[in-house]
Structures are given as C-alpha cells and as structure tokens.
Chains A and B, each alone.
Chain A
Amino acid sequence: SAVISQKPSRDICQRGTSLTIQCQVDSQVTMMFWYRQQPGQSLTLIATANQGSEATYESGFVIDKFPISRPNLTFSTLTVSNMSPEDSSIYLCSSQGVSGRRDNEQFFGPGTRLTVL
C-alpha cells in the first residue's frame, strides 16, 4: 500500500488567515483527492487534484476558498483560505492508482486537524 504523509498534523489558526496543508505519497500515483471531515461526520470530497492542471471541485467547494496544487505525481497541497470557525475539520488527502494495487483502491493520509478560533 502507499504511505501518505501530511503536514501539519494539526494546527490552531486565527479567523481570516490561511493554512496550506501538504500531502506527500511515497510512490507515484495516478489520482490524489482532498476530503473534509467535520466533527462527527463522514468524509466529504472537496476536489480531485489533477497533475499539471487545475483541480476539479465538487459542488459547494470553490477554488478561491480551497486552492489546490499538484506539481507532480507524488505531491499535492490544499490551502484553506480566509478561514472561519466553520472550517474547523480534519482534512484528509488520499490517493488511487497505486502501482500493484487495484485501480479504485484508496489510501489515506493521517489527516490534518484544523481548529479555527
């Protein structure tokens, strides 16, 4: 399975500021995704991070609020911009298309726990 790391693991931020979360996979993967998990809830997909092009956002999520980069096949960043307390969540990076595994099998990073005051 792919080993995925995220930085930071947690952060406490002030309203109105921005935070960039990094996701690093230990092997090249075809697809990378960003999810949000609000307290007590299941996972909601924010966007698909496309290598070398703009991310594909799900309904309710926009690029201005959640800009995403994916410069290569192993790395992606998610920025949470102009934060408000409603953005307090766990943000999770995942990958698909890991060599030697089935196409749709997803692997997840440990998550970034964000608290906005």
Chain B
Amino acid sequence: KQEVTQIPAALSVPEGENLVLNCSFTDSAIYNLQWFRQDPGKGLTSLLLIQSSQREQTSGRLNASLDKSSGRSTLYIAASQPGDSATYLCAVSKAGGYQKVTFGTGTKLQVIP
C-alpha cells in the first residue's frame, strides 16, 4: 500500500525566503506526482504535475523535482510571499491512465510579512 509523507508538517518563514517542502513515498512504481495548494476551508489548486519520466517541472517561482528511485519529491518556492501561505499537498498515482491518487499528509506554510 502506497504511503505518502510530507515533512515538515508546518513551516513558518519570513517573507522573501526561499524554501523547500518535502514529499516521500514508499512505492517508487508511480506514474506521476502532483503538487497542490489548499487555502483554509477551500478546495485544492493544482500547482505542478511531474510525469514519472521527468525530473522536474517549473512554474513561475515554483520548481518541483522528482527522484523516483529514492521515493522523493521536493517543491521549491523562491522568494516567498505572504500570499503563498497555505497547506501544500503532494499526491502520487500508481498506474497509467485514469487512476486514483494517494495524498500526502500536507505541509502548512505560513509566510510572515
């Protein structure tokens, strides 16, 4: 059974700092990995999707990397802003096509002005 863990569970940083969020998974036979953000009491917003054949994806100040062999992904946020404050979730899917995903435990980020 796939288990997805995110460390740290919570993180507080001053505005402008670069930061890294970690995601680890126990079964390396994944098809892709997706990073989401969730604002309090809201749904999930898709940030980045990395296919298993890729090493990284970038979108603006966000960069996500994937190391399947070690079962790890990182989400790098450059020059953090108060608007980045949210919970960040990673999710992995096992097989190709349309398959359910397994969500991580989440990292709650607070960026202090």
Q: Which A positions have Cβ atoms within 8 angstroms of B?
A: 1, 4, 6, 30-31, 33, 42-43, 45, 48, 90, 92, 94, 96-97, 102-111, 113
Q: How many residues of B contact A (CB 8 A)?
A: 25
Does B91 belong to the interface (CB within 8 Å)?
yes
A111 and B43 contact, Cβ closer than 8 Å, known pairs A102-B49, A104-B31, A105-B34:
yes
What is the 8 Å Cβ interface bit string for chain B, positions 52-87, against chain A (1 contact, 0 not)?
A: 000000000000000000000000000000000000
Does B105 belong to the interface (CB within 8 Å)?
yes
Alpha-carbon distance A110/B39, docked complex (angstroms): 10
Chain A interface main SS type: strand
Pairwise interchain contact B46-A106, C-beta atoms closer than 8 A:
yes
- Known contacts A48-B100, A92-B43; can you find 14 more A-B pairs with CB under 8 A? A30-B98, A42-B89, A42-B105, A45-B100, A92-B44, A94-B44, A104-B49, A104-B98, A104-B101, A106-B91, A106-B101, A107-B46, A109-B43, A110-B42
